[in-house]
Structure 1
Amino acid sequence: MNSTERLHKIHHMLTQRHMVTTEQFVNELQVSVSTIKRDLTFLRDRLNAPVKFDYELGGYCFEKIQHVGPKYEMPGLWFNDSELHALVTMQKLLSELQPGLLSPYLDPLQAKLQAILCSMKDSPEEISNRILILAPNKRELPLENFEVVATAVVRRRRLKIVHFNRGTQTKTERIISPQQLVYYRDNWYLDSWCHLRKAIRSFAVDAIVSAELMPDKAKDVSLKKLREELSEGYGIFSGKPLQWAKLRITNVAAEWASKRIWHSNQKSTVDADGSLLLEVPYTDDRELIQDISAWLPHVEVILPNSLRAKLSEILKASLDKNSAK
């Protein structure tokens, strides 16, 4: 049995019996005396278990008197070493997802998780140090705005927001009914019903300058409708009309490109020369052009001509700016 399971077994033995000797622990758990003492110390010092050695009885027991201090509580689940290693990774992800944003809600869970991890044979700190999570596209996010937005989503309340449009460099005031928070490409977005546009819109949370919780109940949009409309576009952009882009990716990069999920409704075939023919739907070409650019010079836009022309214009403008004068 692993160390976590052994701790639960020790807890069970002490709970069910008046007293347990060191010899009984060793025989039933098939471990050394030093291991038993280490486990009992861990239960007492890390999990606040009221364990004591009774010299009159010659064994260990739980104190009957309620002691002052943190509550003793055993971790509720048993994990093997592989599962515990996965938990370390999960804990790292939770802490790196957006430092400080979810702390008030995740701290109690993190404390229990840490109690489980401390029972590992391998140091959780050492394992954590071997896991590096990079989020190069993450943008700074005001904690106070996120908390108001998250509250509105959970409590189903409307929001009054001032939103900054990066494209037009303008601010607009909107009344919205939040539907769901989305974590996408290292950043947070809020899918909402916009009462100004009378349509579903997605707002980058970091572009929300201010957010005020309103007393009015949020308008509900069915999850089915939400998924259908938002999944039609490419990336974070939704809306209509819908177009299809047809791309050709050379055989040099075809294998890697085929492993990438560009869109849930994508269509792909392999040409005779080994190149990948890829078709993806889109409603707004901004994110699609960014992704196409990442595959240059191994990608060609076949259709539509408007997308091909726009990519050419962007590349030409970039070349003009970066060419030697």
Structure 2
Amino acid sequence: MSKTERLHQLSKTLRQRRRVTLAELMQTLQVSRATLMRDLDWLRVELGHPIHWDHEARCYVWRESELAGEQPEEMAGLWLRPSEVLALVTLDQLLRDIQPGDLLRGHLQPLENRLTKMLKQSGLDRSAQSLLGRRVRVIGLWQRRVPPQCFETVGLALTQRLRLRIHYQARGSGQSSERSVSPQRLIHYRSNWLLDAWCHERDELRSFSLDNISQPQIEDTPAIDLPEDELDQTLGNGYGIFSGKEVQWATLRFSPERARWVAAEQWHPAQKGEWDSEGHWLLQIPYIDDRELVMDILRHTPEVEVLAPAALRERVLQRMRDGVARWGVS
């Protein structure tokens, strides 16, 4: 029996039986008295387990009422391999850096404290944790700030399955409107938060960027629930944030140099890719609205060519012509 398994068993036995003699514990765990005493001391001192020695009854007693409402630490994962330590540090960095950080850090502080304690028990003191944390960085680009109150209100409506009334400003047109929506799911996409919801004014599924939502209010009306496959069919078929069911397929050809990067990337869960005889990467991507796809194609210009459809090819070419004209280059 490993140390982890032994401590699990010791904690479980004391919790269930409440009163156990030293001899019974030694027999159950098949350990020496010295080993058992070290294990009991670890549970009491390091993890705060309410284990006491009853001198009159000559046994160990579990007194949970003395915890003042705080449950003892669970045992799982307290002895960590280096890869597990790295995973915990990475998780800690994600909790610190993901938006809206202030709200999430406030609610997840107990979990962050738990991670810190687990790292300490694996041999990393606070200075070592800080050093390791600086060596694991999570960099979120293009983040748009979401007010914590907005995120919390939207999240509550989502989890409580209630409709949400919002003021929404469309980024493309700049126009504002008031909507009543039934939240379906929160999406973290390209470092920003989106709300997939049924819009009762438009009578269709829409994706709303949380940073463009203001004055969110939870309504008393229950939200409607849509099947997961309908959400995926409407909001997951297209490219990026744009929804719809009329899917087209773009075929892109990347130069051999750029292909070494793009072939390892996922642009869309349903994408198809293959190498041609000259080392180009041919990528097929489904899309409904081409605006976001055009931006990503331009990002790889001149190492990419649109092979099909013709309308998409012409739209990308026109955007390049417009750019050259704006720069005043003939």
**Which band: TM-score by shorter chain?**
0.7 to 0.9
> In 1, are the aligned partners of 2:4 and 2:75 still within 8 Å (CA)?
no
> In 2, are the aligned partners of 1:234 and 1:283 still within 8 Å (CA)?
yes
**Cα offset, 1:141, TM superposition:** 0.5
Q: Which residue in the other structure is 2:251 paired with?
A: 246
Q: Kindly tell me: are residues 103 and 27 of structure 1, through their superposed partners in 2, closer, same or farther at Cα, counting changes over 3 Å?
A: closer
Q: What are the ranges of 5 or more consecutive residues in structure 1 without an aligned counterpart? A: 30-35
Q: 1:110 aligns with which of 105, 112, 122?
A: 112
Q: Secondary structure at the match of 2:236?
A: helix
How far apart in 1 are the matches of 2:36 and 2:48?
A: 24
Q: Deviations over 1:182-227 (max 9, x none)?
A: 1111110000111121111000011102211111111221111111
How far apart in 2 are the matches of 1:141 and 1:65?
A: 42
> In 2, are the aligned partners of 1:48 and 1:71 still within 8 Å (CA)?
no
In the alignment, does 2:287 pair up with 1:287?
Answer: no
> In 2, are the aligned partners of 1:75 and 1:112 still within 8 Å (CA)?
no
Q: Deviations over 1:80-121 (max 9, x none)?
A: 323233122222212222212334543333333333222111
> In 2, are the aligned partners of 1:3 and 1:120 still within 8 Å (CA)?
no
Structure 2 counterpart of 1:321, one-letter code: R
Q: Which residue in the other structure is 1:33 paired with?
A: none
How far apart in 1 are the matches of 2:154 and 2:315?
A: 36
How far apart in 2 are the matches of 1:49 and 1:16?
A: 14
In the alignment, does 2:175 pair up with 1:176?
Answer: no
RMSD of equivalent CA atoms: 3.5
Identity, in percent, stands at 34
Count of matched residue positions in the alignment of Structure 1 and Structure 2: 314
How far apart in 1 are the matches of 2:162 and 2:323?
A: 44
> In 1, are the aligned partners of 2:19 and 2:62 still within 8 Å (CA)?
no
Structure 1 counterpart of 2:72, one-letter code: E
**Cα offset, 1:140, TM superposition:** 0.5
**Cα offset, 1:65, TM superposition:** 10
Q: Which residue in the other structure is 1:234 paired with?
A: 239
How far apart in 2 are the matches of 1:155 and 1:76?
A: 32
**Cα offset, 1:158, TM superposition:** 0.8
Q: Taking structure 2 as the reference length, what is the TM-score of the superposition?
A: 0.81
**Cα offset, 1:47, TM superposition:** 3.5
Q: Secondary structure at the match of 1:175?
A: strand
Q: Which residue in the other structure is 2:84 paired with?
A: 83
How far apart in 1 are the matches of 2:287 and 2:62?
A: 66
How far apart in 2 are the matches of 1:196 and 1:28?
A: 67
Q: Kindly tell me: are residues 289 and 83 of structure 1, through their superposed partners in 2, closer, same or farther at Cα, counting changes over 3 Å?
A: same
> In 1, are the aligned partners of 2:51 and 2:63 still within 8 Å (CA)?
no
Q: Kindly tell me: are residues 242 and 206 of structure 1, through their superposed partners in 2, closer, same or farther at Cα, counting changes over 3 Å?
A: same
Q: What are the ranges of 5 or more consecutive residues in structure 2 without an aligned counterpart? A: 24-30
> In 2, are the aligned partners of 1:157 and 1:217 still within 8 Å (CA)?
yes
Q: Deviations over 1:116-153 (max 9, x none)?
A: 22211134333222210000111111111111111111
Q: Secondary structure at the match of 1:127?
A: helix
Greater alpha carbon shift after TM alignment, 144-153 vs 7-16: 7-16
In the alignment, does 2:321 pair up with 1:321?
Answer: no
In the alignment, does 2:70 pair up with 1:71?
Answer: yes
Q: Deviations over 1:13-71 (max 9, x none)?
A: 98876569xx9675569xxxxxx69x95x7556533457899x99xxx77969657563
In the alignment, does 2:193 pair up with 1:194?
Answer: no
> In 2, are the aligned partners of 1:176 and 1:195 still within 8 Å (CA)?
yes
Q: Which residue in the other structure is 2:48 paired with?
A: 48
**Cα offset, 1:156, TM superposition:** 1.0
Q: Which residue in the other structure is 1:137 paired with?
A: 142
Q: Which residue in the other structure is 1:303 paired with?
A: 308
**Cα offset, 1:72, TM superposition:** 5.0
> In 1, are the aligned partners of 2:158 and 2:184 still within 8 Å (CA)?
yes
Greater alpha carbon shift after TM alignment, 276-285 vs 94-103: 94-103
Q: 1:256 aligns with which of 261, 266, 281?
A: 261
How far apart in 2 are the matches of 1:75 and 1:112?
A: 10
Structure 1 counterpart of 2:322, one-letter code: A
> In 1, are the aligned partners of 2:95 and 2:105 still within 8 Å (CA)?
no
**Cα offset, 1:9, TM superposition:** 7.3
In the alignment, does 2:209 pair up with 1:204?
Answer: yes
In the alignment, does 2:282 pair up with 1:277?
Answer: yes
Q: Kindly tell me: are residues 69 and 45 of structure 1, through their superposed partners in 2, closer, same or farther at Cα, counting changes over 3 Å?
A: farther
Q: Secondary structure at the match of 1:100?
A: helix
How far apart in 1 are the matches of 2:107 and 2:68?
A: 23
Q: Kindly tell me: are residues 24 and 66 of structure 1, through their superposed partners in 2, closer, same or farther at Cα, counting changes over 3 Å?
A: farther
Greater alpha carbon shift after TM alignment, 163-172 vs 303-312: 303-312
In the alignment, does 2:156 pair up with 1:151?
Answer: yes
> In 1, are the aligned partners of 2:51 and 2:61 still within 8 Å (CA)?
yes
Q: Which residue in the other structure is 1:163 paired with?
A: 168
Q: Which residue in the other structure is 1:94 paired with?
A: 95
Q: Which residue in the other structure is 1:119 paired with?
A: 121
How far apart in 2 are the matches of 1:271 and 1:49?
A: 63
